[in-house]
Structure 1
Amino acid sequence: MEQELKTKIEDMIKSKKVFLFMKGTPEMPQCGFSAGVVSILKQLQVDFGSFNVLSDMKVREGIKEFTNWPTIPQLYIDGEFIGGHDITVQMAQSGELLKKIG
């Protein structure tokens, strides 16, 4: 991965305590899994940043390489990769997600 792209991704992740790489926007998700994660974050009243990977193919492919995780959405808390939709759902149900967000 080129350094410029890696830095861009790192800067986005650091821009907010909770950051989501998703398809679409929080107001208009473009896939069910992205919509599911947004719904959970909104239910928990979490302030989060996001990036629409459909708007930039370099970031869309780069984020998969960055985390070695093949799918979108990807959720980060405090700069740490948490996971995708299924992991977020499990963590929300167990209460672990809210604890992690603090």
Structure 2
Amino acid sequence: MVSGEQVLRGVGGLLLEARARARDKVYAEGFDAAANICVSILSDAIDGLMAKAKSGDLSKQEQVVLSRLTELRAETEEVLRGFWEPEPTESSLS
């Protein structure tokens, strides 16, 4: 037979799990929003320079900046995607 104390412990555990899931969801949504803002800023700068390049008005210095911004966006996207991947364990490396 289940005691009242066991029921309360079970309900308490469920409440803690629900709170943790809600907190994790808010964290993930905030992370995604911040990640999108960062990538969007880089993309906007790249798009502006690409538009200038299409008109033939891109200086050598701007070409270098465009190249580096493109690399930074790719690096940023890779790091952001990797954030959600679990760290490799010693057993998974062998």
Q: TM-score range by the shorter chain?
A: under 0.3
The two structures have a TM-score, normalised by structure 1, of 0.25
Structure with greater proportional helix content: 2
TM-score under structure 2 normalisation?
A: 0.26
**Which structure: greater strand fraction?**
1
Q: Which structure has the larger Rg over C-alpha atoms?
A: 2
Q: Which has the higher contact order (CA 8 A, sep 6+)?
A: 1
